[in-house]
């Protein structure tokens, strides 16, 4: 107990929870910019394009029409139906509107699902390199993340055999992010089907984070997800967001698709926490999902051009190895050969890169992969060209 009059004592949960590595770097870059230093920020995973005009207009129209009152905890019915319809049309997943819960972004979708699925001591398999929030959401629900390493020499691809070896009596779920943040690796159809069969046999829930699903640069099989739903109908959960696909990061719109009992539980949790995203923002998302979709493919084509530029520049640096990302908008180069007693970690290297060259990147420690850097190419081509040259000169200088 904290003695009367002493400093505020935070909970063990608060003391154990780190700030997201990407946010930490972004804050450091913002502080430099505020002091007048021109920083090239390749740290935060955020599209540089504006939200489409028809989406902005729908949000403004909702405000003008007075749609500013509380929305239901599960989201407005029209948006829930639109999410279900978009997945049905795009990938053949047949979820009912009642099996959809709208959330304040993808992070809340993940948080709510973990809270509603996990009991203290339950284990969740988290392939690594991983998005930093995956293990923290598990821990905040009282669970224990079990990390399974995806190796660079395998293209960071997920191997079902590795997942099978990590299973235990307390395994409750597996989180799969494809395309992966930070590596850009994509799970192929055969591996998806094998994961579904394993989930069916061993009785765990397969949680699919599809944040970057619309940013794949090769052939992707969409039929596999309908097959997964048939194989494990009560154990297949999809987490999605409007943030990347529709350039709506600040609108804070995400969703969960899964068994109706889970959607209702997530809505019940929201009713005691956030309620739901801003009502007008939900009408903006409704316009995004039901309106023209050609812009989605156009943005993916632009990101592919950017990927080709930055990937080619990075692998041309002597001493750097890098897997070509098959999706998302990051390259994840291996910089271990540049570490030394003066620069012992990729965290130290990223700090030096920011201080010396005004390039913000995210060290691999934040993704459970020390010795790597995550570089976002969600920036204009001209910035990427300048940034790639600075990174080359910096590493050669080491």
Tokens standing for 91? 């990938």
Helix (H, G, I), strand (E, B) or coil at 389: helix
Please give the pLDDT value at position 3. 60
Q: How far is CA 271 from CA 72, 112, 354, in A?
A: 8, 11, 42
pLDDT at 192: 96
- Pick 53-290's CATH classification: 3.40.640.10, 3.30.70.3270, 1.20.1250.20, 3.40.50.300: 3.40.640.10
Architecture per CATH, domain 12-50+295-397, reads as Alpha-Beta Complex (3.90)
Structure confidence at residue 23 (pLDDT):
72
pLDDT of residue 36: 86
pLDDT, tens digit, for every residue of 264-306? 999 999 999 999 999 999 999 999 999 999 999 999 999 999 9
Cα–Cα distance, 336 to 323 (Å, whole number): 14
pLDDT above 70 coverage of the chain, percent:
97
* Confidence tier at 173 by pLDDT (50, 70, 90): very high
Dump pLDDT digits (tens) for 185-239.
Answer: 999 999 999 999 999 999 999 999 999 999 999 867 778 999 999 999 999 999 9
Nearest in space to 128 (alpha carbons), one of 344, 376, 364, 375:
364
In whole angstroms, how far apart are CA 227 and each of 92, 196, 221, 308?
Answer: 9, 9, 11, 33
CB atoms within 10 A of CB 113: 27
Residue 388 CA to residue 343 CA, distance in Å, equals 20
Q: CA–CA separation, 264 vs 85, rounded Å? A: 19
Q: What is the pLDDT of residue 275?
A: 93
The string of DSSP letters for 296-316 reads HHHHHHHHHHHHHHHHHHHHT
Instruction: Let me know if 310 is exposed, middle or buried by CB neighbors in 10 A (0-12, 13-18, 19+).
Output: buried
Nearest CA-CA partner of 40 in 396, 394, 300, 369? 394
Query: Mean of the pLDDT values across residues 169-174?
Result: 98
In this predicted structure, what is the pLDDT of residue 12?
Answer: 86
Q: What is the mean pLDDT of the chain?
A: 94
Mean pLDDT of 384-392: 97
How many residues can be counted in the chain?
398
User: What's the CA gap between 318 and 178, in Å, rounded?
Assistant: 29
pLDDT surpassing 70 at residue 177: yes
Query: pLDDT digit string (tens) for 64-108?
Result: 999 999 999 999 999 999 999 999 999 999 999 999 999 999 999
Containing H/E element for 254? strand 254-257
Query: What pLDDT was estimated at residue 283?
Result: 98
* Distance in angstroms (rounded) separating the CA atoms of residues 12 and 222: 43
Give pLDDT tens digits for 314-326: 999 999 999 999 9
Mean pLDDT of 363-373: 96
According to DSSP, the residues that pair with 331 across neighbouring strands are: 375
Whether residue 362 has pLDDT greater than 70: yes
Domain boundaries along the sequence of the chain: 12-50+295-397, 53-290
**Which pLDDT score is estimated for 17?**
80
- pTM for the whole structure: 0.94
pLDDT in tens, 138-156: 999 999 999 999 999 999 9
Over residues 335-347, the mean pLDDT reads: 96
**Beta carbons of 239 and 113 less than 8 angstroms apart:** yes
Helix count and strand count (H, E) for the chain = 14, 12
From 245, 195, 203, select the one nearest 224 (Cα to Cα): 195
Q: What is the CA radius of gyration of the chain?
A: 21
């Amino acid at each position: 107990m904290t003695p009367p009059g002493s400093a505020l004592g935070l909970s063990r949960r608060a003391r154990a929870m780190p700030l997201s590595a990407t946010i930490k770097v972004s804050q450091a870059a913002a502080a430099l910019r505020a002091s007048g230093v021109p920083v090239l920020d390749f740290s935060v995973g955020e599209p540089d394009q504006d939200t489409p005009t028809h989406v902005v207009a729908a949000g403004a129209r909702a405000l003008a029409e007075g749609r500013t009152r509380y929305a239901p905890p599960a989201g407005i019915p029209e948006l829930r139906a639109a999410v279900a319809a978009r997945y049905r049309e795009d990938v053949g997943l047949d979820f009912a509107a009642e099996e959809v819960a709208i959330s304040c972004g993808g992070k809340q979708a993940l948080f709510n699902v973990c809270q509603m699925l996990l009991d203290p001591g339950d284990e969740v398999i988290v392939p690594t390199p991983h998005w930093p929030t995956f293990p923290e959401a598990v821990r905040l629900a009282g669970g224990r993340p079990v990390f399974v390493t995806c190796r660079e020499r395998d293209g960071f691809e997920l191997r079902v055999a590795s997942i099978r070896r990590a299973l235990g009596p307390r395994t409750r779920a597996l989180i799969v992010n494809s395309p992966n943040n930070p590596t850009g690796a994509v799970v192929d159809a055969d591996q998806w089907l094998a994961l579904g069969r394993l989930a069916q046999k061993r009785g765990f829930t397969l949680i699919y984070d599809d944040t970057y699903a619309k940013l794949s640069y090769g052939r992707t099989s969409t039929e596999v997800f309908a097959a997964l739903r048939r194989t494990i109908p009560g154990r297949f959960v999809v987490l999605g967001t409007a943030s990347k696909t529709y350039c709506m990061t600040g609108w804070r719109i995400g969703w969960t698709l899964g068994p109706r009992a889970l959607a209702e539980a997530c809505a019940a949790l929201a009713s005691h926490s956030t309620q739901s995203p801003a009502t007008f923002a939900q009408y903006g998302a409704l316009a995004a999902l039901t309106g023209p979709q050609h812009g989605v493919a156009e943005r993916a084509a632009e990101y592919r051009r950017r990927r080709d530029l930055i990937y080619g520049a990075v692998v041309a640096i002597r001493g750097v190895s890098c897997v070509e990302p098959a999706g998302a908008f990051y390259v994840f180069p291996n910089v271990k050969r540049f570490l030394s007693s003066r620069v012992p970690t990729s965290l130290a290297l990223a700090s030096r890169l920011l201080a010396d060259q005004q390039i913000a990147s995210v060290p691999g420690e934040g993704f459970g992969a020390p010795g790597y850097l995550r570089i976002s190419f969600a920036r204009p081509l001209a910035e990427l060209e300048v940034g790639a040259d600075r990174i080359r000169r910096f590493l050669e200088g080491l």
